[in-house]
Amino acid sequence: MEQDFFSWLRLEQTPGVGPATAAQLLSAFGTPQAIFTASPEALRSVVSARVATALLGAPDTALQQLHDRVQDWCAMAGNQVLTRADPRYPSDLLEIPDPPLILYVKGRVELLRAAGIGMVGSRHASTQGVRDAEQFAAALSQAGLTVVSGLAAGIDAAAHQGALRGAGSTIAVIGTGADIVYPARHRSLAHQIAETGCLVSEYSLGTPAIASNFPRRNRIISGLSKGVLVVEAAALSGSLITARMAAEQGRDVFAIPGSIHSPLAKGCHQLIRQGAKLVETAQDILDELPGYCLSAIQQAASASQNGAALQTADVPALLTVMGFDPLPLDVLAMRSGLEIAELSTQLLTLELAGELESLPGGFYRRLG
């Protein structure tokens, strides 16, 4: 790996230098190499004496060992590192006040520059919340947006799974090193994401799950997104941190309303009172982001007409059993005889084609 990357890694690993301090240093000196060759006086004009002393110190053995470890990791298929100077580094992320110095990426690195929609919510989601996350993610993915979430239990996992069921474009922003999957039970899901999407982390290889790292990574979820959807959240949910960061970054914030009696709806209701856009269907979000998904919607409609998304012979039968009254997913499964996964795929395609609409509470209704 080139000396240039070693300088970026050295800056990242310098004690007292986080993303915000690094941004100040880079603004003053331009490159990591220039930072490490600057005079003590020049450094102290930008950072504290303690940080300046750390920057002037010689690289240690541990740094070289970490550099070698990153080299070995990058030698494996699909693994890459991006510094802020890399042309592949996501431009949207550079807009935030404290973009990561280095991104460790496993999978399709080009998705980092695609139009993203963040999806977050409770780790202890309700059955309906999980269903909503899957259905919204599948529809948004089919419409050309890349679903960005955090690989956590509950809403995050459901969002990734829904996106995989759609077009497959999803980004998992993780709070550990890119060589560690947390929670471990999501190892299979992480593998699927790396196949058609990507895993991304700002943390050094080998970084374990540390509680304080997860709220910090939320700024990357919102930073990679044109808007953030909060599917289900309690009043003190960490998802509200992501929503706040999204608003501070100038991103749209969306929230799905729920029952006034549900603790898991209180966070969403709070966001709506504060100005978040209330959404009931994926189309509500697409209407707010027309420039990023219109052509993709047309492509999805074309794909459905060509039979790419479902067996077209089954469509008339499904529409027939639906009738024109709102019906829940389980009733539709019973009437159609289809497995839930296949039924959900067909419902999504019919919704994109304008044949039906999804309603609050997991209901569907045929149109026209």
Domain 317-366 fold: Arc Repressor Mutant, subunit A (1.10.10)
Q: Is the peptide bond before 183 cis (omega within 30 degrees of 0)?
A: yes
Q: What is the DSSP string of 25-85?
A: HHHHHSSHHHHHTS-HHHHHTTS-HHHHHHHHSPP-HHHHHHHHHHHHHHTSTTEEEEETT
Per-residue pLDDT tens digits of the chain, which is 368 residues long:
466 899 999 999 999 999 889 999 999 999 999 999 999 999 999 999 999 999 999 999 999 999 999 999 999 999 999 999 999 999 999 999 899 999 999 999 999 999 999 999 999 999 999 999 999 999 999 888 999 999 999 999 999 999 999 889 999 999 999 999 999 999 999 999 999 999 999 999 999 999 999 999 999 999 999 999 999 999 999 999 999 999 999 999 999 999 999 999 999 999 999 999 999 999 899 999 987 864 444 444 434 443 444 344 445 578 877 777 788 887 888 778 888 878 888 888 888 777 888 888 788 888 86
Q: Which residues contact 116 (CB under 8 A, 6 or more apart)?
A: 92, 145, 146, 147, 148, 171, 224, 225, 226
Domain ranges of the chain: 1-69, 109-298, 317-366
Contact status, residue 168 vs residue 141, Cβ threshold 8 Å: yes
CATH code matching the domain that covers 1-69, chosen among 1.10.10, 1.10.357, 1.10.150, 3.30.420 = 1.10.150
Alpha helix positions (H), the chain: 3-13, 19-29, 32-36, 40-44, 49-56, 61-74, 91-94, 127-142, 155-165, 187-196, 213-223, 239-248, 266-273, 282-288, 290-305, 315-322, 329-336, 340-352
Q: Count other Cβ atoms within 10 Å, centred on residue 183.
A: 14
CATH code matching the domain that covers 109-298, chosen among 3.40.250.10, 3.30.70.1350, 3.40.50.450, 2.40.100.10 = 3.40.50.450
Distance CA 147, CA 236 (A): 24
Q: What is the DSSP string of 234-249?
A: -TT-THHHHHHHHHHT
Distance CA 328, CA 284 (A): 20
Distance CA 125, CA 65 (A): 41
Helix, strand or coil, per DSSP, at residue 118:
strand
Task: Provide the residue count of the chain.
Answer: 368
